[in-house]
């Protein structure tokens, strides 16, 4: 028997026949695989609309992971829309007001912008100092605690039944190929769940991805995580991005005493080879000295103390759901480099948009396959206002921040100097990154403004002797900028 977690005590056993159908007959309007960020959010959203939902999760223990720990302001807003804002309470979450970018020891503060539309705004002097004051905020926390709160919300929703079981295979109609539900394994026993719609939200290593798309995720680096205790951060309540000779390093507080360090290590990095002491050697010999002095003691202690953990940093462009009866969502469907902390913001906004598109007003019956598929087409394009911005920015910034060759290095410097200009040069980029500005063109504009500024710096810093070479070289820098961004733009234009 599956373990039913939300069944009420016998004396007040509900007589809701729909609940009974879920619990006893394993039938619902919607079956969702994976009670992670997306699964929980969409389960509650659909449950609130009166849909009958079964949410399947392989382990209901509080997860302990190094992912999904910084939620952008655009994700906080989505949580509010879903009525799940409470999930950020009582988890020792930390307010996030923006970023601190540290480039070879130089610092620039990048606060989340006030204006919601990203339009260039005249700013009064002294505005920058007013922290909070109407500016949007993000939150950082222990991933597992946030997930625990989300799952509690799903479990207490009268229209959602949460079951601990591992989904193994889709059940399809022999004639039409329509997905009817999933086969599961509950403590060694086979088990089945059926719905008009089956949603796979089983995360980055999705078992069900191959059922509807052919493309596989591409991963060229990993994030290695450490947990620092009582780290002395240069700018509390900000995400820190440390740039230097190697790939980028992220530091952000996730609890009163804990700070997450994520260190990007590209594949086959010589300084992380076995000969050079492996990842620990790289952390100690290369990363540690590149960090701000005040962070070094807690970082060094964490290297000695922590079990090293890593996660692949993947890129997977979104694709339209075309399989009748089936929807792939979350990391299973679309991934971008976690440098900009955009994954949960995308997932939560997808839950908002999809629940609107599939609401009983738009889709009275979820077994009306034709209408559902039409709405999925709409979903694919409508989500792009936000997700294409987050996806492209994450990949483009990673290319610049992990720069190795001289042209990318020139773009990296240009990017940092651009941020130092302040005003719209930071409001735009961080507004896009934070999920506050949803205008792909604004991204395009800032990216090429950075490229031109980088070229200007590159040429202006040359001597009379090197000028001709640099003038020619500037074409290379511009070309590199195009090579960095256009493949990602094109992949976002695909259906």
Ligand X SMILES: *[C@@H]1O[C@H](CO)[C@@H](O)[C@H](O)[C@H]1NC(C)=O
Q: Which residues would be at the binding site for ligand X (CB under 6 A)?
A: 47-48, 50, 157-159
Nearer of residues 18 and 235 to ligand X, judged by Cβ? 18
> Of ligand FAD, ligand X, none, which one sits near residue 243, judging by CB under 5 to 8 A according to partner kind?
none
Nearer of residues 203 and 473 to ligand FAD, judged by Cβ? 203
> Of ligand FAD, ligand X, none, which one sits near residue 179, judging by CB under 5 to 8 A according to partner kind?
none
Angstrom distance (rounded) from CA 15 to CA 302: 53
Residue with tokens 């953990």, as numbered in its chain: 309
Nearer of residues 355 and 424 to ligand X, judged by Cβ? 355
Angstrom distance (rounded) from CA 195 to CA 366: 9
Angstrom distance (rounded) from CA 478 to CA 495: 28
- Shortest Cβ 30–ligand X spacing (Å): 12
Residue with tokens 């976690």, as numbered in its chain: 338
Nearer of residues 157 and 253 to ligand X, judged by Cβ? 157
> Of ligand FAD, ligand X, none, which one sits near residue 47, judging by CB under 5 to 8 A according to partner kind?
ligand X
- Shortest Cβ 156–ligand X spacing (Å): 9
Q: How far apart are the first and last CA of the chain?
A: 41
Helical spans, DSSP H, in 249-383: 278-282, 288-290, 296-305, 343-357, 369-382
* Cβ neighbours for 62, distance < 8 A, ≥ 6 positions apart: 144, 145, 147, 148
* Cβ neighbours for 486, distance < 8 A, ≥ 6 positions apart: none
> Of ligand X, ligand FAD, none, which one sits near residue 158, judging by CB under 5 to 8 A according to partner kind?
ligand X
Angstrom distance (rounded) from CA 273 to CA 170: 41
Angstrom distance (rounded) from CA 384 to CA 390: 9
Helix axes 343-357, 384-401, angle to 10 degrees: 170
Q: Which positions touch ligand FAD (CB under 6 A)? A: 33-39, 56-59, 66-71, 166-167, 201-203, 207, 223, 262, 311, 313, 330-332, 338, 341-345, 347
> Of ligand FAD, ligand X, none, which one sits near residue 159, judging by CB under 5 to 8 A according to partner kind?
ligand X
Give residue 484's Cα distance to chain centre: 20
Among all residues, whose Cβ is closest to ligand X? Answer: 50
- Shortest Cβ 52–ligand X spacing (Å): 7
Alpha carbon distances (Å) from 266 to 4, 323, 370: 43, 35, 44
* Cβ neighbours for 41, distance < 8 A, ≥ 6 positions apart: 79, 82, 84, 150, 347, 348, 351
- Shortest Cβ 351–ligand X spacing (Å): 15
- Shortest Cβ 347–ligand FAD spacing (Å): 5
> Of ligand X, ligand FAD, none, which one sits near residue 432, judging by CB under 5 to 8 A according to partner kind?
none
> Of ligand FAD, ligand X, none, which one sits near residue 296, judging by CB under 5 to 8 A according to partner kind?
none
Nearer of residues 46 and 437 to ligand X, judged by Cβ? 46
> Of ligand FAD, ligand X, none, which one sits near residue 350, judging by CB under 5 to 8 A according to partner kind?
none
- Burial state string for 10-20 with b = 16 or more CB within 10 A and e = fewer than 16: eeeeeeeebbe
Angstrom distance (rounded) from CA 20 to CA 388: 41
Nearer of residues 300 and 356 to ligand X, judged by Cβ? 356
> Of ligand X, ligand FAD, none, which one sits near residue 410, judging by CB under 5 to 8 A according to partner kind?
none
- Shortest Cβ 146–ligand X spacing (Å): 21
- Shortest Cβ 38–ligand FAD spacing (Å): 3
- Shortest Cβ 415–ligand X spacing (Å): 46
- Shortest Cβ 374–ligand FAD spacing (Å): 24
């Amino acid at each position: 028997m599956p373990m039913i977690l939300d069944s009420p005590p016998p004396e007040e056993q509900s007589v809701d026949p729909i609940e009974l159908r879920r619990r006893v007959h394993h039938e619902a309007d919607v079956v969702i695989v994976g009670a992670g960020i997306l699964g929980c959010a969409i389960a509650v959203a659909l449950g609130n609309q009166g849909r009958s939902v079964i949410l399947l999760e392989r382990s209901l223990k509080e997860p302990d992971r190094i992912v999904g720990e910084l939620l952008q302001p655009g994700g906080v807003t989505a949580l509010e829309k879903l009525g799940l804002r409470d999930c950020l309470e009582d988890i020792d979450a930390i307010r996030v007001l923006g970023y601190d970018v540290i480039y070879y020891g130089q610092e620039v503060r990048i606060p989340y912008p006030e204006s919601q539309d990203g339009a260039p705004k005249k700013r009064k002097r002294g505005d920058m100092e007013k922290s909070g004051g109407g500016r949007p905020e993000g939150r950082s926390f222990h991933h597992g605690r946030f997930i625990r709160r989300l799952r509690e919300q799903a479990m207490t929703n009268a229209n959602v039944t949460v079951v601990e079981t591992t989904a193994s295979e889709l059940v399809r109609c022999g004639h039409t190929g329509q997905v009817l539900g999933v086969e599961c394994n509950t403590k060694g026993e086979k088990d089945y769940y059926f719905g008009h719609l089956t949603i796979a939200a089983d995360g980055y290593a999705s078992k069900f991805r191959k059922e509807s798309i052919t493309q596989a995720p591409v991963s060229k680096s990993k994030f290695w995580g450490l947990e620092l205790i009582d780290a002395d951060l240069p700018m509390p309540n900000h995400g820190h991005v440390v740039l230097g000779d190697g790939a980028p390093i992220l530091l952000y507080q996730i609890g009163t005493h804990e700070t997450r360090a994520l260190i990007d290590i590209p594949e086959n990095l010589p300084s992380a080879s076995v000969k050079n002491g492996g990842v620990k050697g790289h952390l100690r010999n290369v990363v540690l000295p590149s960090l701000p002095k005040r962070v070094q003691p807690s970082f060094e202690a964490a290297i000695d103390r922590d079990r090293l953990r890593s996660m692949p940093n993947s890129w997977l462009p979104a694709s339209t759901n075309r399989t009748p009866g089936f929807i792939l969502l979350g990391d299973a469907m679309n991934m971008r480099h976690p440098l900009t902390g955009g994954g949960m913001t995308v997932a939560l906004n997808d839950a908002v948009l999809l629940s609107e598109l599939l609401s009983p007003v738009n889709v009275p019956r979820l077994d009306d396959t034709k209408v559902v598929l039409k709405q999925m087409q709409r979903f694919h394009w409508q989500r792009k206002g936000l997700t294409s911005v987050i996806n492209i920015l994450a990949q483009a910034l990673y290319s610049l921040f992990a720069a190795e060759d001289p042209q990318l290095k020139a773009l990296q410097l240009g990017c940092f100097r651009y941020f130092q200009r302040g005003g719209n040069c930071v409001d735009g980029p961080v507004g896009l990154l934070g999920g506050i500005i949803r205008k792909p063109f604004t991204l395009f504009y800032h990216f090429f403004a950075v490229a031109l500024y980088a070229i200007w710096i590159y040429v202006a810093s040359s001597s009379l002797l090197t000028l001709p070479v640099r003038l020619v070289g500037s074409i290379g820098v511009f070309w590199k900028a195009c090579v960095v961004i256009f493949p990602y733009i094109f992949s976002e234009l695909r259906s």
